[in-house]
Amino acid sequence: MSAKGARTEAAETQRAEPKRINVAVSPDTVRALEHVIEREGVTLTEALRRLIGYGDFVYRAVRENSEQLIVKGQDGTREVVLL
């Protein structure tokens, strides 16, 4: 996704009215949300927005753009693979 495409999508998203949804989530998802809330000091809503945004970025990169995502850390390098 180009920077121009990202800006266009972001502008369209900001103009759209927020949509309230009600979903049931797994205990693993609750723990992931709690982790972001505690670590970053944000609200539940903001934690959910961030995790969805991160997931969308990874999903689009791998599925739509056929890109390879590599995670580098102290323990080595890993490739992100979506099945």
pLDDT surpassing 70 at residue 58? yes
Mean pLDDT, to the nearest integer, of 16-42? 95
* Cα separation values, 71 from 24, 30, 58, 62, 81, Å: 30, 24, 12, 13, 11
Token code pair at residue 56: 């969308």
Predicted pLDDT of residue 13? 61
* Distance, CA of 62 to CA of 6 (rounded, Å): 16
The pLDDT confidence band at residue 77, using thresholds 50, 70 and 90, is very high
Q: Which residue has the higher pLDDT, 10 or 2?
A: 10
Q: What is the largest CA-CA distance in the chain?
A: 43
C-alpha closest to that of 32 among 14, 16, 55, 9: 55
Q: Which residue has the higher pLDDT, 14 or 63?
A: 63
